[in-house]
């Protein structure tokens, strides 16, 4: 017998709108309301009226960065002949869900012999485009910003991943770190500005790159940039730091050439400037340059420039001169780090220990943005750097791996509300509470309890 509804019975409470999804994404993916980690509207969250600098947006050449807490490139040594793998999709995708203002893919070599290890990332062939594009498309579907660092390892190429070396050392191994051809290395094809080993007896004995090799390397950077465009990256960084090829060639310690790329300061910086100029002409999106601002060799070698006016090692004076030339070319941001080119370096490590170098460059090269790195682990610390004008953005690396939710936690610490991923928003309900409604609570860190934030409430019926 069919049951007939009476007048007091109601129809099903149907939701009249389609579910929010990313229409262009190849699989089902809920749509984000705005960039994850970006400030939520002041009309709903009045605590955002005067936000901390860390959560102030930044626009460079039309690319909008939702905050100034960015991910540094971090080698994963997990690529398959230079091709990104599932690991990279999960690794980068996890960061994209956590509110970082920008994510930078790891050092990615423009030639096979420019990798640090056989597991390094590459962008020297078209077959590497598709796996990178899968990652970039996912980040973009989350409304994120992602770039790539282009590199050549120079004399530090064809060596072991750090964990293989550590495990072997723990078993008593004390030999070299060079990977043989049998295991995917290229010990006889390590190319450097000069035939000087980074660590004789442990690292490769490199070949001095010929002029023909250098000309071809410039071409390979250009080809890599074309692939970056096909992948869809939002920005590019040129890796000129940490003792790799472009750091080696500017540094008198590792460059003893007698041609147009060696000797004087002008000759030593010639290749980085040629590469930067060529990329700038082809790439209309943001372009960054990572520089090691000092070798930290004062204790061993004295001043960067001796009493005769000769440069002895790479330091802040030459970095400043290089930065001015990069600014003229149109480099948008200097990513300021230090060291990596000489084992005699004496680094005084501590919180924000590299920021004074960024301060110097920001003061002396005012027409370029500056990013800083180095043991930046606290929200107030990161924000103070920016509020005090010491840098324009903060890059994090190991802190990302230790605490991937750092941007959202920093927002809570600094008293603002930013957008969490829709899939994770219930975990951040304390942050999403209108702070002006909160008076006295027992919460010690955030000034608002889990229950007040909604985590202890029952679902409304």
Rounded Cα–Cα distance for residues 408 and 64 (Å):
19
Contacts with 28 (C-beta within 8 Å, 6 or more apart), sequence order: 21
Give me the long-range contacts of 262-270 (CB less than 8 A, separation at least 24).
Answer: 262/193, 262/194, 265/311, 265/318, 265/321, 269/318, 269/321, 269/322, 269/325
CA distance 82 to 116: 11
pLDDT tens track for 395-439: 999 999 999 999 999 999 999 999 999 999 999 999 998 766 443
DSSP run (H or E) holding 121: strand 121-122
| Per-residue confidence (pLDDT) for residue 5, from 0 to 100 | 59
The two three-digit tokens of residue 18, written as one number = 């389609």
Rounded to 5 degrees, what are φ and ψ at 72?
-75, 155
- Taking 90 as the threshold, does the pLDDT of residue 6 lie above it? no
Per DSSP, the three-state class of 220 is helix
| Residues β-bridged to residue 337 | 292
How far is residue 254's CA from residue 340's CA, in Å, rounded to a whole number?
12
- Whole-angstrom distance, CA of residue 214 vs CA of residue 165: 31
Using the predicted structure, report yes or no on whether residue 388 has a pLDDT greater than 50: yes
H or E element in which residue 58 lies: strand 58-60
Which pLDDT value is given to residue 102? 98
**Phi, psi (rounded to 5 degrees) for 58:** -145, 135
CA-to-CA distance for 354 and 86, rounded, in angstroms?
A: 33
Look at residue 288 and give its three-state secondary structure.
Answer: strand
Summarised one tens digit per residue, pLDDT across range 77-127 is 999 999 999 999 999 999 999 999 999 999 999 999 999 999 999 999 999
Please, are residues 117 and 180 in contact by the beta-carbon 8 Å criterion? Answer: no
CA-CA distance, 320 to 252, in Å (whole number)? 16
| Domain residue ranges of the chain, discontinuous segments joined by + | 46-414
Q: Locate 206 and state its tokens.
A: 């490199």
Which of 149, 156, 219 has its CA nearest to residue 192?
Answer: 156
Per-residue model confidence (pLDDT) at position 442: 33
Tens digit of each residue's pLDDT (9 = 90 or more) over 150-204: 999 999 999 999 999 999 999 999 999 999 999 999 999 999 999 999 999 999 9
**Collapsing DSSP states into helix, strand and coil, what is residue 250?**
helix
CA dist., res. 194 & res. 255, Å (int) = 5
Per-residue pLDDT tens for 198-227? Answer: 999 999 999 999 999 999 999 999 999 999
Selection from 116, 71, 144 nearest residue 395 by Cα: 71
Closest Cα to residue 143, out of 62, 59, 33? 33
Residues 6+ apart with CB under 8 A from 172: none
Q: Which residue reads 């000309």 in tokens?
A: 215
Q: Which of 103, 126, 130, 332 is nearest to 224 (CA)?
A: 126
Q: Where are the alpha helices (DSSP H) in 283-376?
A: 298-301, 316-329, 355-364
Question: Which residue shows structure tokens 């019926």?
Answer: 461
> Tell me: the pLDDT tens digits for 273-302?
999 999 999 999 999 999 999 999 999 999
- Find, among 124, 100, 152, 200, the residue nearest to 418 by Cα: 100
Q: Is the dihedral of CA 163, 353, 323, 289 positive or negative?
A: positive
Helix (H) or strand (E) holding 214: helix 211-231
To 10 degrees, the CA torsion angle through 325, 231, 68, 402? Answer: -120
* pLDDT attached to residue 433: 84
Q: Report the 10 Å Cβ neighbour count for 182.
A: 6
CATH classification of 46-414, choosing from 3.30.390.50, 3.20.20.70, 3.40.50.170, 3.40.190.10? 3.20.20.70
Please give the mean pLDDT across all residues of the chain: 93
Contact 22, 29 (CB under 8 A): yes
Catalytic residue among 45, 203, 244, 289: 244
What whole-number distance in Å separates Cα of residue 422 and Cα of residue 35? 11
244 is catalytic: yes
Q: What is the separation of C-alpha 107 from the centre of its chain, rounded to a whole number of angstroms?
A: 9
């Amino acid at each position: 017998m069919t049951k007939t509804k009476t007048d007091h019975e109601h129809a099903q409470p149907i939701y009249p709108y389609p579910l929010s999804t990313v229409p262009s994404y190849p699989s089902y993916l809920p749509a984000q309301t705005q960039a994850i980690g970006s400030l939520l509207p002041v009309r709903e969250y009045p605590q955002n009226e005067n936000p901390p600098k860390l959560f102030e947006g930044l626009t460079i050449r039309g690319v909008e960065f939702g905050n100034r807490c960015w991910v540094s490139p971090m080698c994963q040594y997990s690529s398959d002949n230079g091709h990104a793998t599932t690991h990279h999709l999960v690794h980068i995708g996890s960061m994209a869900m956590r509110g970082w203002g920008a994510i930078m893919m790891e050092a990615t070599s423009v030639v096979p012999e420019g990798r640090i290890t056989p597991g390094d990332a590459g962008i020297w062939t078209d077959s590497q485009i598709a796996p990178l594009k899968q990652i970039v498309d996912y980040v973009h579907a989350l409304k994120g910003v992602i770039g790539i660092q282009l590199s050549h390892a120079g004399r530090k190429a064809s060596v072991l991943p750090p964990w293989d070396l550590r495990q072997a050392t723990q078993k008593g191994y004390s030999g070299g770190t060079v990977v043989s051809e049998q295991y995917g290395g290229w010990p006889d094809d390590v190319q450097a500005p000069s035939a000087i080993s980074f660590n004789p007896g442990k690292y490769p004995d490199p070949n001095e790159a010929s002029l023909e090799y250098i000309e071809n390397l410039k071409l390979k950077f250009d080809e890599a940039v074309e692939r970056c465009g096909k992948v869809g990256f939002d920005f590019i960084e040129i890796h000129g730091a940490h003792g790799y090829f472009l750091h080696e060639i500017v540094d008198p310690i590792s460059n003893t050439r007698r041609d147009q790329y060696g000797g004087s300061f002008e000759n030593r910086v010639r290749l980085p400037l040629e590469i930067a100029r060529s990329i700038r002409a082809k790439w209309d999106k943001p372009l960054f340059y990572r520089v090691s601002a000092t070798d930290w060799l004062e204790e061993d070698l004295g001043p960067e420039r001796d009493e005769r006016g000769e440069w002895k090692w790479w330091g802040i004076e030459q970095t400043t001169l290089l930065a001015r030339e990069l600014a003229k070319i149109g480099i948008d941001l200097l990513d300021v780090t230090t060291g990596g080119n000489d084992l005699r370096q004496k680094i005084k490590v501590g919180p924000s220990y590299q920021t004074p170098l960024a301060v110097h460059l920001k003061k002396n090269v005012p027409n370029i943005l500056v990013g800083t790195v180095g043991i930046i682990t606290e929200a107030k610390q990161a924000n103070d750097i920016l509020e005090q004008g010491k840098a324009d953005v903060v890059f994090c690396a190991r802190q990302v791996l230790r605490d991937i939710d750092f941007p959202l936690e920093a927002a809570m610490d600094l008293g603002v509300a930013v957008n969490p991923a829709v899939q994770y928003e219930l975990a951040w309900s304390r942050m999403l509470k209108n702070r002006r409604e909160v008076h006295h609570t027992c919460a010690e860190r955030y000034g608002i309890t889990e229950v007040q934030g909604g985590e202890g409430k029952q679902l409304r019926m």
